[in-house]
């Protein structure tokens, strides 16, 4: 009986990871210190809009709103993590500043966003790339945790912490 329960739990976990990977990335939350480092480096302002594509438990958007007063939006496809992020936002009294949307990150409109962050697999980044190039306004910044954006020149790289920062300039040369 115990063996069946163990097999069932293992299969459920495997399926959950498999589905998340097919969506864009499995759930591997970013380190809080790394997020803090990035947010500090970005010198966030309270009038800036920050988006985390694949928000997980909402830690990136919560920290951005809590520490810098930024308007932050997370997009999360997984129901459990979406509820977790929503709960965290309510718990910390950030309603109105931080928001989490349940949905697919590829459908989110980026045209009014100042900073986009994500921690996705290389294939998902490649799929997202044309959207970043066509929708993001000049001057906006992109932070990719774990993997670089292919063929783009980064404005800042921390190889050890796997942080890759990009900026869309006027002639969009950084993304070519």
Q: Which residues bind ligand SAM (CB under 6 A)?
A: 20, 23-25, 27-30, 52, 54-56, 59-60, 75-78, 81, 104-106, 119, 145
Query: Residue 22 to residues 15, 16, 25, 96: CA-CA distances in angstroms?
Result: 10, 10, 7, 32
Task: Please give the DSSP secondary-structure letter assigned to residue 95.
Answer: B
Q: Which is nearer to ligand SAM, 59 or 71 (CB)?
A: 59
For residues 18 and 15, what is the distance between their CA atoms, to the nearest angstrom?
5
Instruction: Classify 119 as helix, strand or coil.
Output: coil
Closest CB 146 distance from ligand SAM, rounded Å: 7
Closest CB 170 distance from ligand SAM, rounded Å: 29
Q: Measured at CB, which residue is nearest to ligand SAM?
A: 54
Q: Which is nearer to ligand SAM, 85 or 175 (CB)?
A: 85
Closest CB 112 distance from ligand SAM, rounded Å: 19
Closest CA to 71 of 92, 91, 100, 42: 100
């Amino acid at each position: 009986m115990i063996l069946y329960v163990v097999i069932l739990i293992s299969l459920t976990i495997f399926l959950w990871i498999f589905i998340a990977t097919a969506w864009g990335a499995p759930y591997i939350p970013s380190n809080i210190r790394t997020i803090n480092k990035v947010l500090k480096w970005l010198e966030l302002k309270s009038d800036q809009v920050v988006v985390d594509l694949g928000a997980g438990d909402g830690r990136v958007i919560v920290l951005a709103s809590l520490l810098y007063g930024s308007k932050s939006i997370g997009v999360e496809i997984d129901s459990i993590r979406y509820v977790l992020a929503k709960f965290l936002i309510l718990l910390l009294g950030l309603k109105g500043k931080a928001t989490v949307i349940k949905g697919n990150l590829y459908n989110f409109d980026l045209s009014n966003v100042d900073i986009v962050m994500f921690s996705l697999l290389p294939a998902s980044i490649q799929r997202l790339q044309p959207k970043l190039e066509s929708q993001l306004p000049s001057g906006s910044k992109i932070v990719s945790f774990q993997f670089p954006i292919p063929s783009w020149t980064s404005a800042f790289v921390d190889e050890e912490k796997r942080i890759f920062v990009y900026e869309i300039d006027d002639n969009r040369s950084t993304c070519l």
